[in-house]
């Protein structure tokens, strides 16, 4: 039997001073995703906030009250109605339990208090960033692409960094560096705060998407996994990013969404900054992006997304294959990987967005290709 109605009297007071809205079937979640307006008891996530407090015989915390208020979508006179996240669409496969869970707080550590005014990052900012190192003739080593750590054994990157047409045949993708900030400094310090020595881990297996065609103009399916030769030990400077597995993220188009691209500006051919940089971009709708890239006879397809296009702001500040990330501002905020840097016409060219591999489109592929 459910918690007695009288227990909810205190909760009902949460909504008394709110502006009444219409009780509709669909609604918008605080984070911007789609939800359905249902009775509180029918929404497991929100209802458990109430029942857990009741079982512990504790009042609701201020954070819980705020979270519940933000999800209010009514109320109607007799029932408390809330905007509840829709269930995963049947077209979505089951997410691998090998991927860290945002709900458990073991990925995408919230960095929302960071200041985004400049280009340089803090030494512990974006701790999921990875640098890909290539072995060249004469046993020379060089960083020429980026990636993102998604659990303790896998890095996600672009397929063009693994088997792209521009990678010289004499190069071998060799290892991954984690926990780096300034390539030219050892150790990395910010005042008295110093980071541990970055770690280099050999790549045990390269898994490019089988449908990726290196010579294709639009670089569809530009995604790859790198299995590391050993388990990564996490610390404040090395942490995995979350993937956009929540239903409201998997159904989002990210148009107008503020997102961050970070990295050292490494491409498969170029050498840029020694210090990790960042830039903020906004998502651009696919129709607009296609109208722009049609001038180059390119079609941006499902599984790709566009962002940026402001003068001087583009993924050239990040790495080829590196992540574009966004903050989910739910009850427990976390960062997740929206896209991977794929290609663009020119660095920071006004009116020309960068093109990214859309990670939500490949959640099933990722789940199917990772193992313990």
Reported pTM: 0.75
Distance of CA 322 to the CA centre of its chain: 11
- Give 31-86 pLDDT, tens digit per residue: 777 777 877 766 777 877 887 777 677 888 888 888 888 888 875 556 788 888 76
Which CATH number does the domain 247-359 belong to among 1.10.20.140, 3.40.50.2300, 2.40.30.10, 2.40.10.10? 2.40.10.10
How far is 148 from 312, CA to CA, in rounded Å? 24
Which of 320, 328, 342, 361 is an active site residue? 320
Position 189 scores a pLDDT of 84
Answer yes or no: 320 catalytic: yes
CATH number, span 26-85: 3.30.1640.30
Answer yes or no: 90 catalytic: no
Instruction: Give kind and range of the element (H or E) at residue 55.
Output: helix 44-55
Parse the chain into domains and list their residue ranges: 26-85, 102-112+126-240, 247-359
Which of 160, 181, 248, 361 is an active site residue? 160
Position 273 scores a pLDDT of 80
Answer yes or no: 222 catalytic: yes
Position 297 scores a pLDDT of 93
Question: Do the Cβ atoms of 338 and 359 come closer than 8 Å?
Answer: yes
Q: Identify the three-state secondary structure at position 27.
A: strand
Position 314 scores a pLDDT of 60
How far is 80 from 350, CA to CA, in rounded Å? 48
User: Which residues on neighbouring strands pair with residue 82, listed in sequence order?
Assistant: 38, 72
Q: For the chain, which ranges sit under pLDDT 70?
A: 1-25, 41-42, 55, 75-78, 86-94, 110-120, 266-271, 312-318, 346-349
Check if 26-85 and 247-359 are the same fold.
no
Position 8 scores a pLDDT of 37
Distance of CA 19 to the CA centre of its chain: 33
How far is 244 from 325, CA to CA, in rounded Å? 10
Position 20 scores a pLDDT of 34
Which of 64, 124, 182, 222 is an active site residue? 222
Which CATH number does the domain 102-112+126-240 belong to among 3.60.150.10, 2.40.10.10, 1.10.520.10, 2.60.120.10? 2.40.10.10
Which among 262, 258, 272 is positioned nearest to 340, based on CA atoms? 262
């Amino acid at each position: 039997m459910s918690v007695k109605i009288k227990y909810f009297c205190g909760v009902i007071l949460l909504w008394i001073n709110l502006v009444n809205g219409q009780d509709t079937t669909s609604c918008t979640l605080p984070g911007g995703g789609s939800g359905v307006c249902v009775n509180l008891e029918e929404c497991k996530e929100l209802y458990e906030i109430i029942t857990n407090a009741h079982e512990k015989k504790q009042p609701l915390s201020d954070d819980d009250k705020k979270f519940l208020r933000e999800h209010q979508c009514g109320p109607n006179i007799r029932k408390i109605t809330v905007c509840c996240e829709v269930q995963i669409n049947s077209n979505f496969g089951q997410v691998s339990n090998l991927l860290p869970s945002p709900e458990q707080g073991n990925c995408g550590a919230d960095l929302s208090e960071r200041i985004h005014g400049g280009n340089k990052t803090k030494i512990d900012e974006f701790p999921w960033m990875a640098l890909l190192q290539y072995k060249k003739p004469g046993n020379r080593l060089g960083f020429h692409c980026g990636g993102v750590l998604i659990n303790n054994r896998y890095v996600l990157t672009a397929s063009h960094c693994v088997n792209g047409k521009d990678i010289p045949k004499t190069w071998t993708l060799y290892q991954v560096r984690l926990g780096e900030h300034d390539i030219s400094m050892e150790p990395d310090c910010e005042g008295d705060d110093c980071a541990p020595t970055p770690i280099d881990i050999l790549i045990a297996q390269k898994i490019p998407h089988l449908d990726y065609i290196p010579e294709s103009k639009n670089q569809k399916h530009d995604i790859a996994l790198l299995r590391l030769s050993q388990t990564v030990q996490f610390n404040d400077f090395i942490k995995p990013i979350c993937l956009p597995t929540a239903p409201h993220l998997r159904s989002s188009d990210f148009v107008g969404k503020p997102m961050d691209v970070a990295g050292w500006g490494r491409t498969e051919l170029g050498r840029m900054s020694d210090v990790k940089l960042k830039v903020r971009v906004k998502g651009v709708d696919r129709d607009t992006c296609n109208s722009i890239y049609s001038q180059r006879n390119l079609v941006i397809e499902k599984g790709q997304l566009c962002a940026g296009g402001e003068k001087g702001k583009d993924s050239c500040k990040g790495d080829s294959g590196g992540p574009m990330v966004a903050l989910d501002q739910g009850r427990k905020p976390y960062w997740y990987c929206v896209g991977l840097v794929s290609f663009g016409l020119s660095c920071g060219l006004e009116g020309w967005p960068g093109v990214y591999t859309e990670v939500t489109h490949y959640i099933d592929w990722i789940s199917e290709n990772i193992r313990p």
